[in-house]
Amino acid sequence: MKYLLVILENLEKKTKLIKTIAKSISIIADEESVKYSYGDNVAIMNFHSSDDQEEVAIYVDELLKGVATLFFLTPYTDNVYTSLPMDVHKYIFGESEIIDEDNYSLEDELDIDQLFPPLNSKSQTKIAKPKIKELSLDEILDKINTEGIHSLTEQERQTLETHSNRI
């Protein structure tokens, strides 16, 4: 089965790590060569293995434990869509043998990085908080009547308590 492994991690100046991961993947790969490309924030690897899918997943998980915070391993079929620079796509998916680790240029690596923002980007950490509608006392009492007191949120309980202390 063909596999696509995508590693999202700060890989800047970690060429040796990427080569080590690729060599380690080659242990379970049917072919000697694992095709890969990488940039500062992402590495993409393609390989074929006749090992059981679960065994491959366990192996990759153990291999990347403590090395990569986030990765995706998926079987690669014709139904998987990728958006990569054309030369990288042709190399990774076996349509070209042109790119190798010795002549792969920095410009190509930058193209890959443009697909993914840096992992430590502040825009990645912003989470939209839903606005909670504050119910009136009458709406809270109606809710208790229809759904029971156990259905109240913490905010609704506090509103009810505030009104009861006024009385």
Please choose, from the candidates 48, 39, 43, the residue with its C-alpha nearest in 3D space to the C-alpha of residue 68.
Answer: 43
Pairing of strands 35-38, 2-8: unpaired
Phi, psi torsion values for 163, nearest 5 degrees: -70, -35
pLDDT of residue 81: 76
Q: Which of 49-53, 70-74, 123-127, 129-133 has the lowest mean pLDDT?
A: 123-127
Q: How far apart are CA 92 and CA 37, in angstroms?
A: 7
Burial letters 115-133, b for 16+ CB under 10 A, else e: eeeeeeeeeeeeeeeeeee
For residue 126, pLDDT over 50 is answered with: no
Instruction: Look up the pTM and report it.
Output: 0.56
Which domains can be identified in the chain, with CATH numbers?
2-124 (3.30.70), 137-166 (no CATH)
The residue that leads in pLDDT, 29 or 92, is 29
